[in-house]
Amino acid sequence: MSQQETGGKLQIWLTVLCAVFLLAGIVSEHLFLWPNEVSVTFYILSYLTGGYSGFVETIKHLRQFQLNIDFLMIFAALGAAVIDQWIEGATLLFLFSLSGALETYALGKSRNAIHSLLKLRPSEGLLKMEDGSEKLVPIEELEVGQVVIVKPGEHIPIDGKIVKGQTSVNEATITGESMPVSKGIGESVFAATLNENGVIEIEVTRRASDTTVAKIIQLVEEAQKSKAQTQRFLDTFEPRYALAVVVSVILLIFIPWGVFGQDFDPTFYRAMTVLVVASPCALIISTPASIISAIANGAKNGVLFKGGAYVEHAVDIDTIAFDKTGTLTKGEPEVTDLISFDRDNEKFSEDGSEVLEMLAIAAGCEYHSEHHLAHAIVKKAEELHVDLTRVDDMQSTPGQGVEGKLNGHHVSVGNSQMFNKQLEKWNPMISEKADFLREQGKTVVFVVQDEIALGVIALADKVREDAKIVVSKLQSLGIKQIVMLTGDNKGVAKSVAAELNISHVYAELLPEKKVDIIKKLREKGVVAMVGDGVNDAPALAVSDIGIAMGAAGTDVALETADIVLMGDDLTKLPYLLWLSRKAKKVVWQNIAFSLSVILFLLVCVFTIELPLTIGVIGHEGSTLLVVLNGLRLLKKGK
């Protein structure tokens, strides 16, 4: 049990004892069961139990030569005792202690919301031994390289990669995305996610203490300790305000009593009431109650704020710069066009046996290549159930393509640079078709046999299905400028930007150039940079707010970015903005309400002689309402 949980339970028990002693004192005093000294003893015990936590906090602050809210409450209760108002003083400490216990419980609920993830992670894993037998072992004993067996319906105990089997995994605990993800051999899985179907064997890639879910919880804990700017201001404001209240109360006692000769008891009583109602408990708790809830909400839904300051700062974003590859696009090239030519290069076709024959030759040439374009061509052949042609004597020319032998014929697959050397003159129709495809932002690969062009294959990094919707939604949310940054050529960049309705495009950029552009954008507004957290680390670091997406398990993203979107899901970005704006709205609701209650109660003290008990109820009630209002942010919104 944590020290915070232990302190919370102690405060609850002390509050209960305070109530018991208070009731015992009231019964003893009004039913005359015991002498008056006995009832006073009960009140003193109520003071000691109800004021313990506040007294401890007061001593801590006094050692730093500071006054705080707890000092004001203790001072007011002692003042009530001085004028023999034991019941009201004890009631004040009971309600103050009760309010503190409820605040601790409520904020603990917010802080512990993310800790529920740990409950989903099994404490043991089914280890596959070297002799093939199986053994349940604590996850803390699992070592990198060992193999764990996970059955259908079980939560995955450790981070790893699948070495046998395939399944669907619900990764909502990590990414916030409720739709299951298909997983096969070689793909990564994370601790605390749910294996929905299929027996899988996982090779451990991280120890239990280093898993993604463990890092998320660690980052959330650190984020909840990191204070928002408003909270830092209120923390600085609290001791100064408390000192001002104490000075005002002293003046309210001595001026009416010492200067104008008013009776001491009612003057002192009124001053103690002012001391209670002017205390800024609700005001001070207004920000952390909201910010901590927002951080927990985000973490449960795949948005990881690395500090309260970023929850607040995200509200001011007016410019968002996107990396293109892997952020706005899928990051993997796909075959978009298959075009075959006749032997005379006079006609072309986009379907039929000639197209499949051309694809079979291309895939056969590219089968053993490690190039990402080669993988896309082979994948397309597999999707169309095309049998790959066997090509011998394969040779690769870096930056150009591959070539080999097919039944005595010379075949080659590559870019125009390769074929400019082979063919003295391109048929105009082929050149025009290639240029047309390039204008659409596509990469063109030629397929040639014995110096005759069989066809072309066009590939492109496709735009994410939801990217256009997200860009449109960001514009509707008031983002003034959306910028795309990419290292790709201008043709590809303009094509993607046009599809997404992005008007500001910067292409052919090296990482340092991205940094320069971010710096220029910051001169005109508050800039968020959205990237994959690896290649974009410098730009993420220099922006006002760095947002890394698709970062589940990516250490660089977790360390570099200010906000991390754990899932590979762009729709989390509008949710991030909505959550930060909602949090700020709730914070200012709480601040406005807190100040209004203080002013209202102060007016009542001087106009209708507000009783101390009613002042206590109003003061502590407003504190509780502020906490409950902040807890509304734990609910998932839009």
> What is the spatial distance between Cα 149 and Cα 152, in angstroms, rounded to a whole number?
10
Tell me whether residue 562 is exposed, middle or buried, using C-beta atoms within 10 angstroms of its C-beta: 0 to 12, 13 to 18, 19 or more: buried
> CB of 326 within 8 A of CB of 440?
no
Amino acid (1-letter code) at residue 315: V
> What is the spatial distance between Cα 449 and Cα 412, in angstroms, rounded to a whole number?
7
Active site residues: 323
Question: What count of other Cβ atoms lies within 10 Å of the Cβ of residue 65?
Answer: 7
Q: In what order do the strands lie in the sheet with 452-463?
A: 348-349, 329-341, 452-463, 443-449, 409-414, 401-406, 392-397
Six-digit token string for 290: 């909201």
Closest-CA residue to 83 (of 296, 239, 257, 326): 257
β-strands 527-531, 194-197: how paired?
unpaired
Half-sphere exposure of 390 (CA within 13 A, CB side): 2
> What is the spatial distance between Cα 449 and Cα 340, in angstroms, rounded to a whole number?
12
> CB of 412 within 8 A of CB of 435?
no
Closest-CA residue to 192 (of 217, 163, 210, 171): 171
Closest-CA residue to 514 (of 538, 492, 481): 538
Query: DSSP letters along 420-464, please?
Result: HHH-SS--HHHHHHHHHHHHTT-EEEEEEETTEEEEEEEEEEEEP
Torsions phi, psi for 448 (to 5 deg) = -130, 140
Q: Which residue is it, tokens 């009530």? A: 80
Residues 82, 86, 88, 89: what is their CA dihedral angle, to the nearest 10 degrees?
A: 60
Classified as helix, coil or strand, 393 is: strand
Half-sphere exposure of 598 (CA within 13 A, CB side): 18
Q: Which residue is it, tokens 């978009």? A: 336
> CB of 148 within 8 A of CB of 126?
yes
Amino acid (1-letter code) at residue 272: M
Q: How many helices (H) and strands (E) does the chain have?
A: 22, 23
CA 68 to chain centre: 33
Torsions phi, psi for 352 (to 5 deg) = 100, 180
Closest-CA residue to 473 (of 445, 433, 501, 453): 501
C-alpha distances (whole Å) from 585 to each of 291, 316, 589, 632 are: 11, 13, 6, 12
Sign (positive or negative) of CA dihedral 437, 443, 449, 452: positive
DSSP state letter for 465: T
Classified as helix, coil or strand, 462 is: strand
Q: Most distant CA pair in the chain: distance in Å?
A: 120
Q: Which residue is it, tokens 């109800």? A: 50
C-alpha distances (whole Å) from 564 to each of 216, 297, 310, 438 are: 10, 14, 11, 35
> What is the spatial distance between Cα 111 and Cα 104, in angstroms, rounded to a whole number?
10
> CB of 562 within 8 A of CB of 590?
no
